[in-house]
Amino acid sequence: MDDDSAPLDPAIARFVEHLRVERRLAPRTLALYEPALRELQQHALSDRIALRDAQAHHLRRWTAKLRERGLGSRSIAITLAAWRGLYAYWGRERLVTHNPVDGIRPPKPPQTLPKALPVEQAVALAEAKSTSESAVLRARDHCIVELLYGCGLRVGELVALDLAPGPAAQGWIDAGDATAHVLGKGSKRRSVPVGGPALRALADWCAQRAEFARAGEPALFVSQRGTRLSAPQLRTRLKALALAAGLPTDVHPHMLRHSYASHLLQSSGDLRAVQELLGHANISTTQIYTKLDFQHLAKIYDAAHPRAKKR
């Protein structure tokens, strides 16, 4: 639809220059906006209407054409952002009296279900022995898996844990109270219970942590250099552990959080409790696990019920 050879309308070109020089938009963003603006210009030419005279019904029709072409929701959202920005700029320049793109929204992207491990694979990973020759590394990695799966922590929450509570600590584990205290998204604190296997793994790791940790290092989990373990380092270790455990899929930290939530919901059916444990601000975020739970039940039905499939 867009014609790269056609020159941009001078008023549109000034907007692009404004984005580049004054707004300092990233080159990648500009590279996405300019074709979108060319397409808008082409729509107006095809409909024989001046862009400054376009009304909301014109913009809705042109947006519908984007959908007909098969553009995804993200691409449409970027296109609408470019169009909306142009009319907002023209409004400040008193070239238009209103923004015809206001109120037009891209289609909602399809909701993808989070990937969770089956219970037996999650347990196998938690119980797997690291192939590392270092007993200290084995203890650390085992403790990490137990806390990710046993507490549903985000990777950022886990690596931010300190050995002990304090004014600067973002999170810590109270072994005596069997509770993990973490700082989640939006700087919201929450406390989650820590199970027996995770507490035993924690005790084993803490008994050996001094072999790695530098003097005065507050982090609970440290690398072999003695400083706080980073999220990328953790992801790499977890992937290696999953391969060593024979799991047939790549495993990342958030997959263990999804597994934690899904398995809790399958067993308890208590959506509100799972919401609290995960630290979700809105129940709608947690509700995706009900779909994952139904998917699990549907697989059981397909495998077990004599009328599940056509004979």
Catalytic residues: 154, 185, 254, 257, 280, 289
Contacts of 1 (CB under 8 A, 6+ apart): 39, 42, 43, 65, 69
How far is Cα 106 from Cα 120, in angstroms, rounded to an integer?
A: 40
Instruction: Tell me the C-alpha to C-alpha distance, in Å, between residue 260 and each of 152, 203, 240.
Output: 5, 22, 20
Contacts of 154 (CB under 8 A, 6+ apart): 184, 185, 253, 254, 257
How far is Cα 294 from Cα 289, in angstroms, rounded to an integer?
A: 8
Residues in the chain: 311
Determine the 3-state secondary structure of 161 from DSSP: strand
- Could you tell me which of 6, 3, 21, 7 has the C-alpha nearest to residue 89? 21
β-sheet bridge partners, residue 179? 174, 193
HSE-CB for 231 with a 13 A CA cutoff: 10
How far is Cα 63 from Cα 79, in angstroms, rounded to an integer?
A: 9
- Could you tell me which of 213, 215, 255 has the C-alpha nearest to residue 238? 255
- 8 A C-beta contact, residue 206 and residue 163: yes
Q: How many CB atoms lie within 10 A of CB 166?
A: 9
